[in-house]
Homo-oligomer: A and B are copies of this chain.
Amino acid sequence: MPQNVPPAHPDRRADTRNDDSAEPRRRASRKSAGGITLRDVAQLAGVAPITASRALNTPSAVSPKVLQKVKEAVERTGYVPNLLAGGLASNKSRLVAVVVPTVIGPVFQEIVHTLTESLATAGYQVMLGQSGYENSREDALLEAIIGRRPDGVVLTGIMRSAEARKRLLASGIPVVETWDLTPTPIDMLVGFSHDDIGREVARYLHGAGRRVVAVVGGKDERSQRRMNAFAREATTLGMVAGEAPVAMHHVTAPTTLGQGRKGLADLLERQPAMDAIFCSSDLLALGVMIEAQSRGIRIPEQLAVVGFGDLEFSRDLQPQLTTVRIDGTGIGQRAARFIIDRAAGLEIDEPIVDVGFSIIKRQSA
């Protein structure tokens, strides 16, 4: 005789169709999304919902037979777990917020790409936020992020207000700051020193025999730090014309090729003696090169050009561009690992990483 199993998981929705004479009218059950739920899968597999859940999340915790049945049921129904519900119940959203000033421009592409890839592989999705170069809607963005209860936040290239800092800290969400070495990180950090870069580039040009340097640089804070460190070091090394300070041409971010062209034109007037230019992006450097070429200035003979970013095209320019390379992929991977490890409850022994940079020596300088 077939054992009459009492309904292990009564269907509440079906309940509403029962006769309503015995009791005052039952409330209409609220409408569900109508999709397949874990309950449906479990029912089909003949197990309790929790068992189906375990079969999907910790397969080793159920018997092979059950695993098989559940898998079949999933297959048959096309069930896709509701991660909103799962996240609410488990307090793990498997979502990581990535904040960049903007995705326009080549600067943060590599890091966004790598984060998205690495995290996807580990079962996390990336939520994208753009902070702009102004601090305007930073609060709204922060609210949107915290509201999703992400398992981590990766901050790239932005200056956060003290208020924002406090709220993030208070939220308890793991935070990885990148693209800089701040003295007092909120939590974890993967970056490099903009000051060091400026200094090293100055030394490199000095070693290459350059005597009067100039700068085309973006106005954003980090670019400024590279440029100022460069100018200081250059001055120390005597790479200036007489008493004049290092000539600097400032442009607004995001930097463009056109700004590079204008930059050279401007600097040529202000400091005709210069024989080397440090640009705060490869795009600016390309602009400088194109402008130089159209004026018959030969690179590197008359003018050395150094870029920043090592964009994909830089090695194929004519002449090949000497530039500063940042390992965006490495930064992304480390940041992803930090978040994943933290979510797994692992200890992070060294939460601050300096990934450094390298000067890629090519023909232009």
Asked whether A61 is an interface residue with its Cβ less than 8 Å from the other chain, the reply is no
Asked whether A243 is an interface residue with its Cβ less than 8 Å from the other chain, the reply is no
Asked whether A265 is an interface residue with its Cβ less than 8 Å from the other chain, the reply is no
Asked whether A33 is an interface residue with its Cβ less than 8 Å from the other chain, the reply is yes
List the B side residues contacting A110 at CB < 8 Å.
104
Asked whether A85 is an interface residue with its Cβ less than 8 Å from the other chain, the reply is yes
For window 5-37 of A, CB contacts with B under 8 Å fall at: 6-7, 10, 14, 16, 33-35
Pick the contact of A315 from B6, B95, B258 — CB < 8 Å?
B258
Choose the segment among A42-50, A74-82, A215-223 that binds chain B (4+ C-beta atoms closer than 8 Å): A74-82
Measured CB to CB, the closest approach of chain B to A129, in angstroms, equals 7
Please determine whether A112 and B128 come into contact, CB atoms closer than 8 angstroms: yes
Pick the contact of A171 from B7, B80, B112, B113 — CB < 8 Å?
B80
Chain A 81-111 per-residue mask, 1 if CB under 8 angstroms from chain B, else 0:
1111101100101010010001111100110
Measured CB to CB, the closest approach of chain B to A116, in angstroms, equals 5
Please determine whether A104 and B109 come into contact, CB atoms closer than 8 angstroms: yes
Asked whether A253 is an interface residue with its Cβ less than 8 Å from the other chain, the reply is no
List the B side residues contacting A258 at CB < 8 Å.
313, 315-316
List the B side residues contacting A318 at CB < 8 Å.
290, 293-294
Asked whether A127 is an interface residue with its Cβ less than 8 Å from the other chain, the reply is yes
List the B side residues contacting A88 at CB < 8 Å.
82, 84-85, 88
Measured CB to CB, the closest approach of chain B to A104, in angstroms, equals 5
Please determine whether B170 and A144 come into contact, CB atoms closer than 8 angstroms: no
Known: A256-B313, A315-B258. Contact between A148 and B83, CB under 8 A? yes
Measured CB to CB, the closest approach of chain B to A31, in angstroms, equals 8
A207 to B141 alpha-carbon distance, docked (Å): 50
Closest to A317 in B: B290
Instruction: Count contacts on A: residues with CB < 8 A to the other chain.
Output: 70
List the B side residues contacting A171 at CB < 8 Å.
35, 80
A72 to B167 alpha-carbon distance, docked (Å): 17
Measured CB to CB, the closest approach of chain B to A107, in angstroms, equals 11
Measured CB to CB, the closest approach of chain B to A286, in angstroms, equals 7
Asked whether A120 is an interface residue with its Cβ less than 8 Å from the other chain, the reply is yes
Asked whether A257 is an interface residue with its Cβ less than 8 Å from the other chain, the reply is yes
Please determine whether A148 and B316 come into contact, CB atoms closer than 8 angstroms: no
A95 to B145 alpha-carbon distance, docked (Å): 11
List the B side residues contacting A7 at CB < 8 Å.
14
Pick the most buried of A102, A144, A170, A316: most chain B CB atoms within 10 A of its CB: A316
Asked whether A146 is an interface residue with its Cβ less than 8 Å from the other chain, the reply is yes
A57 to B148 alpha-carbon distance, docked (Å): 16
List the B side residues contacting A95 at CB < 8 Å.
127, 148
Known: A84-B88, A315-B258. Contact between A127 and B129, CB under 8 A? no
Pick the contact of A82 from B6, B80, B149, B170 — CB < 8 Å?
B149
List the B side residues contacting A140 at CB < 8 Å.
120
Please determine whether A313 and B293 come into contact, CB atoms closer than 8 angstroms: no
Closest to A170 in B: B78
Closest to A294 in B: B318
Asked whether A312 is an interface residue with its Cβ less than 8 Å from the other chain, the reply is yes
Asked whether A364 is an interface residue with its Cβ less than 8 Å from the other chain, the reply is no
Pick the contact of A103 from B93, B116, B125, B149 — CB < 8 Å?
B116
Please determine whether A313 and B286 come into contact, CB atoms closer than 8 angstroms: yes
Measured CB to CB, the closest approach of chain B to A288, in angstroms, equals 12
Top 8 A-B residue pairs of the complex, sorted by shortest distance between their CB atoms: A257-B313, A258-B316, A83-B147, A257-B316, A80-B146, A84-B88, A126-B128, A128-B128
